[in-house]
Chains A and B, each alone.
Chain A
Amino acid sequence: MSLAKRIIPCLDVDNGRVVKGVKFVDIRDAGDPVEIARRYDKEGADEITFLDITATHDNRNTMVHVVEQVASEVFIPLTVGGGIRTLDDIRRMLNAGADKVGINSAAVFNPEFVREAAERFGSQCIVVAIDAKKVSQPDEANRWEIFTHGGRKGTGIDAVAWAKKMVDYGAGEILLTSMDRDGTRIGFDLPLTRAISEAVSVPVIASGGVGNLDHLADGIIEGKADAVLAASIFHFAEFTIQQAKERMAERGIEVRL
């Protein structure tokens, strides 16, 4: 008996609609976040993450409604990320029914924001999202840096040191995305995942690069992640979450079946 490793599908939401083409054959409206969330809940998702990809002011109001609707029907933990910049943004999402919020760029520009957020709302609901990219040369020891603006802008900040700092500031969880692997479908950056996971005391969610079910298991076993996040392999109905859990269980990982 022990804690299960988590599988978290991630939905990109733009103006209240799920984008990046969800392709379930038997779904009425492939852009409806509520319907898709319900589907993932039924398949056994351990949590659901919504990423507000444009995060304009109007869009955020729409996102609050999306969260409210989903939270009225789907009774598993919900995380909302994208454009969370103020304590008021956090309060609104939590009041709408989100359990956690993901803070990304705002943490890089103002680390104190993470401290204030954790003090006000508790570390349990503060997820710091880290976008990291490898900057070491092949003949050097591995080194990763924090990038912003969708991986276009380097910051010079060492990823492992940053993750530790964010935990000191009150992050209750780290969502780690490899910008080298994101969208490639060749698997997580396992050395990165492991380096961060072993450096911090809080749970780490691995993200970026999943192309098959073994990648998910690798993230847990080799990457030492506590949870794995994926989008496209579930959206395109290549695999169900149930299949992912069965594969992980075959590889000796404890899951909620």
Chain B
Amino acid sequence: MSSVAVIDYGMGNLHSIAKALQHAEPECDVHVTSSADAIFNADRVVFPGVGAIRDCMQALNQTGLSEVITDVAKTKPFLGICLGMQALLIDNEENGHTQTLSIIPGHVIRFAESLQDNDGNILKIPHMGWNQVHQVQHPLWAYIPQDSRFYFVHSYYAKPDDTSVVAGTAEYPNAFACALAQNNIFAVQFHPEKSQAVGLQLLKNFLHWDGQL
């Protein structure tokens, strides 16, 4: 069975994502690793991340993993999660404009303050909890009902330059891109590893994906 590398660059909890991948596909070889060789040798790569984008980019640049990611994101089935999705764009408003990896053209911006829902209640930031994801056709959505709820926790969101990379949207209260697809890359703002059955299905789909559309 195939192998998957979960990139470890010191940004928090990788226990859950590793366990969720293993649970989704017990036959799969899951490696949590910071080794460039291990990442290059794996069949697939997962790029997770939580916390602040500046710390994330600092860790990636210090460890040299920026180049490794830029390289494997061109060649292997690649899944970015949360900060691991945001880092793929060009820059991020957080921490006063942080430059990111520029693998997908576009920017990451903060939810506007004082947005209201239909009942006139102020929407809280972070956007935290289970929200519906409207899918745009892609192999990674296989067996997942349209508009299923996934678990989100974030204050910034991606605004890609080219809307054809949008693979899923959520509303808070306006629609925003919460899944991006570009060739062999799939990237999500929500946490599949914390989204129960539908999240595990998405991980399973990824572990069987050949990177083609």
Contact = CB atoms under 8 A, between A and B. Distances in A.
Interface of A: 1-6, 41, 46, 68, 71-73, 75-77, 94-99, 119, 121-125, 172-173, 198, 201-204, 224, 226-227, 256
A2 B172 contact: yes
Given A4-B149, A124-B51, A203-B126, 4 more contacts: A2-B171, A72-B15, A75-B196, A227-B129
A201 B52 CA distance: 19
Nearest to B200: A75
A41 B171 CA distance: 25
A122 B129 contact: no
A85 B147 CA distance: 40
Interface of A is mostly: loop
B12 A94 contact: yes
A95 B127 CA distance: 23
B153 interface: yes
Given A71-B15, A226-B128, A125 B151 contact: no
Nearest to A224: B121
B151 A76 contact: yes
B129 A3 contact: yes
A6 B129 contact: yes
Given A76-B196, A99-B13, A226-B124, A124 B129 contact: no
B193 A75 contact: yes
Given A95-B13, A98-B13, A1 B128 contact: no
B125 A173 contact: no
Interface size bracket, B side: 35 or more
Interface stretch (B37-45, B58-66, B130-138, B158-166): B130-138
Interface of B: 12-13, 15-16, 19-20, 23, 50-52, 113, 117-118, 121-122, 124-132, 134, 147, 149, 151-155, 170-173, 191, 193-196, 199-200
A62 to B, nearest CB: 17
B149 A75 contact: no
Contact of B125 (A77, A198, A201, A204): A201
For B122, B130, B171, which residue has the most chain A Cβ atoms within 10 angstroms? B130
Contact of B126 (A41, A46, A96, A172): A172
A75 B126 contact: no
Contact of A2 (B16, B173, B199): B173
14 contacts: A1-B134, A3-B127, A3-B129, A3-B130, A3-B152, A71-B15, A72-B15, A75-B194, A75-B195, A124-B51, A124-B126, A125-B12, A201-B113, A227-B129
B50 A122 contact: yes
A98 B194 CA distance: 11
B176 to A, nearest CB: 12
Contacts of A46: 129-130
Given A1-B171, A2-B173, A3-B172, A201 B122 contact: yes
B133 to A, nearest CB: 9
B130 A4 contact: yes
Contacts of B125: 201-202
Contacts of B152: 3
Contacts of B19: 71-73, 75, 97
A6 B170 CA distance: 17
B130 A97 contact: no
Contacts of B191: 77
A99 B131 contact: no
B15 A2 contact: no
Contact of A124 (B121, B149, B154): B154
A43 B104 CA distance: 39
